[in-house]
Amino acid sequence: MKALRCNELGGPEKLSIEDIPVPELNTNEVLVGIKSASVNFPDVLMIQGLYQYQPPLPFTPGAEAAGIVEAIGSDVKNFKIGDKVFVMAGAGCFAEKIAVEEVRLHPIPSEMDFDVAAALSMTYGTSIFALKQRANIQAGETLLVMGASGGVGLSAVELGKAYGAKVIAAVSSEEKASVCKEHGADETIIYPADGLDRDQQKEFSNTIKNLTNGLGANVVYDPVGGTYAEPAIRATAWDGRYLVIGFAAGEIPKPPLNLALLKNCQIVGVFWGAWTAMFPAENLANFNELFSLYKAKKINPRITDRFNLNNAADAIAHLGNRKAVGKVLVDV
Ligand SMILES: NC(=O)c1ccc[n+]([C@@H]2O[C@H](COP(=O)([O-])OP(=O)(O)OC[C@H]3O[C@@H](n4cnc5c(N)ncnc54)[C@H](OP(=O)(O)O)[C@@H]3O)[C@@H](O)[C@H]2O)c1
């Protein structure tokens, strides 16, 4: 079968399409024929050896996909051949087939196609966990989403609206801002694309405060980090929650902790992947809620770019180069 292979850590240019054997099944595993896969920032980090979970070399990148069950191991209980499934594998999805433990699969509801299913798990799974379990967001609160037109960002914009929050979307361009508006953002802020100096940080904080009647944002969803993080914490409301989602800007911020004291706010870590392994029943309940929201047309993953499996390395490069808006798909 065809698969995108990482034989050596580095940029997408080091990846190659190869013919490898179809994986053999363990008794608790399911073989899925992949129809559609999607790119996430962790793929960009993993091929460089920079992600918190690293498979041994050589490996096939690709954290999530959707497809059809083609074979099952003798101990598999919940799936049968022909079932349509979400695959949340962490790696291995940029390939024609994947063998995964059944706990990493969910059935796809009948009203959802393979592309939407491939685009939904990691982004909306992270955002619903962040906003519900970690921030306990309430209707009427203000949610600031940084990097808001990206994969996790846009899902947080939609979920924030679904939970009745006022959503402020912060992005690096007019084009990205208008995408956030289309997905429900009430206000947008455009920040400089190449990081913020001290004056720009002050201006960013002041803009957030001006949009929140001087009170600051109740919840800040931050997948960007870098020099954007500290001014966002400075513009967090009393009793606010600043959610540490990721560091797409490439730098882990080190904000002074007196800010948490002065704001009486919480700096809250979010590690969705580890949580799903510890709390599968709660994660399943979140997914069922996401399916209801999708059915009610309150969430709708935006798919803006498509690549085929032969060009999957270009798909990873596209996202890594900050060109992605919403989700980037790989048709398998
Ligand atoms: N905590 C968790 O459980 C969890 C789960 C999934 C993902 N994540 C993390 O969330 C982050 C975003 O992931 P994603 O898949 O949504 O990525 P994405 O689609 O590429 O979105 C990232 C956004 O970050 C902004 N950004 C700022 N500086 C950037 C830079 N130097 N390079 C690239 N983007 C930059 C971009 O928006 P602007 O151009 O508007 O600034 C971009 O839209 C990653 O750090 C990822 O590891 C965390």
Quick one: 254 exposed, middle or buried, by C-beta within 10 A (0-12, 13-18, 19+)?
exposed
Nearest CA to ligand 1 atom 45: 246
Task: Say what the pLDDT of residue 157 is.
Answer: 98
Ligand 1 site-directed mutation target among 38, 39, 40, most atoms within 8 Å of CB: 40
Split the chain (332 residues) into runs of 10 and give each run's mean pLDDT: 98 98 96 98 97 95 98 97 97 98 93 96 97 98 98 98 98 98 98 98 98 98 98 98 97 97 97 94 96 97 97 98 96 96
Residue 267: count other Cβ atoms within 10 Å of its Cβ. Answer: 19
Strands 217-222 and 236-244: parallel
Task: Say what the pLDDT of residue 52 is.
Answer: 87
Task: Say what the pLDDT of residue 322 is.
Answer: 95
**C-alpha 28 – ligand 1 centre gap (Å):** 33
Task: Say what the pLDDT of residue 96 is.
Answer: 98
Nearest CA to ligand 1 atom 8: 246
Task: Please give the full DSSP string across 180-199, using - where no structure is assigned.
Answer: HHHTT-SEEEE--TT---HH
Ligand 1 site-directed mutation target among 322, 325, 329, most atoms within 8 Å of CB: 322
Task: Say what the pLDDT of residue 53 is.
Answer: 87
Q: What domains sit in the chain, N to C, each tagged with a CATH number?
A: 2-108+302-331 (3.90.180.10), 123-272 (3.90.180.10)
Decide whether any atom of ligand 1 lies within 6 Å of the 14 Cβ: no
